[in-house]
Chain A
Amino acid sequence: AQSVTQLGSHVSVSEGALVLLRCNYSSSVPPYLFWYVQYPNQGLQLLLKYTSAATLVKGINGFEAEFKKSETSFHLTKPSAHMSDAAEYFCAVSPASGGSYIPTFGRGTSLIVHP
């Protein structure tokens, strides 16, 4: 069984401030982890993925995430928020083995960026 918990349904930051969106996972097998972004009235878009290579993963739009096995975390960060980053962010987990490629999504975190 696998699941992800996203801490905070809403995160509010000022433009130029650090963005930190938290994700903790639970998985009975080694996981692959993903962050997706959903802009208003659009589908989900893959931001970045961890598939057991480097633990620090860089994605699109200046986002990165670090896989920390000891903390079972995969938090998403960006050094400086832009207004265009305002969106819903979803963390997801898939088992790295066993033949299932279907992700289990967290409930999402809405990022609000203030000018």
Chain B
Amino acid sequence: DSGVTQTPKHLITATGQRVTLRCSPRSGDLSVYWYQQSLDQGLQFLIQYYNGEERAKGNILERFSAQQFPDLHSELNLSSLELGDSALYFCASSVASNTYEQYFGPGTRLTVT
């Protein structure tokens, strides 16, 4: 158990809908990362937050957005969902923004039908 929690574990929704994925980092970690894992693209970095501020951006679609709240939990919002958005979404956390050690949560499996 990494100490990173993600909810829900599974999510099934229809095309065009909007969903929110939630992540709670390890106690004491200030940085949160979001990744998408799909068969087509592999494991892709989406976005990083550090202490509430966006720190780095990867291959995140404009339909996707994220934020980190004062209590340091983070939410990833996915809108206008398409079939191709079906994937495993991981959250990871680290104690600082300038560290290579990330701790991954168990993921949220999103299925878009």
Chain A interface (Cβ within 8 Å of chain B)? 32, 34, 36, 41-46, 49, 51, 90, 94, 99-108
Q: Which residues of A contact B97 (CB under 8 A)?
A: 101
Q: Tell whether, in the assembled complex, residue B45 and residue A102 are in contact, meaning their CB atoms are under 8 Å apart.
A: yes
Q: Which residues of A contact B99 (CB under 8 A)?
A: 101
Instruction: Name the CB-closest residue of A to B97.
Output: A101
Chain B interface (Cβ within 8 Å of chain A)? 2, 4, 33, 42-43, 45, 48, 56, 58, 90, 92, 97-102, 104-107
Q: How many angstroms from the CA of A90 to the CA of B102 in the assembled complex?
A: 14
Q: Tell whether, in the assembled complex, residue A105 and residue B42 are in contact, meaning their CB atoms are under 8 Å apart.
A: yes
Q: Which residues of A contact B33 (CB under 8 A)?
A: 102
From DSSP, what is the main secondary structure of chain B's interface residues?
Answer: loop
Q: Tell whether, in the assembled complex, residue A34 and residue B100 are in contact, meaning their CB atoms are under 8 Å apart.
A: yes
Q: Tell whether, in the assembled complex, residue A43 and residue B104 are in contact, meaning their CB atoms are under 8 Å apart.
A: yes
Q: Tell whether, in the assembled complex, residue A106 and residue B42 are in contact, meaning their CB atoms are under 8 Å apart.
A: yes
Q: How many angstroms from the CA of A46 to the CA of B26 in the assembled complex?
A: 15
Q: Tell whether, in the assembled complex, residue B100 and residue A94 are in contact, meaning their CB atoms are under 8 Å apart.
A: yes
Contacts A43-B2, A45-B2 known; A100 to B56 CB distance under 8 Å?
yes
Q: Tell whether, in the assembled complex, residue B58 and residue A44 are in contact, meaning their CB atoms are under 8 Å apart.
A: no
Q: How many angstroms from the CA of A32 to the CA of B102 in the assembled complex?
A: 14
Q: How many angstroms from the CA of A43 to the CA of B107 in the assembled complex?
A: 6
Q: Tell whether, in the assembled complex, residue B100 and residue A43 are in contact, meaning their CB atoms are under 8 Å apart.
A: no
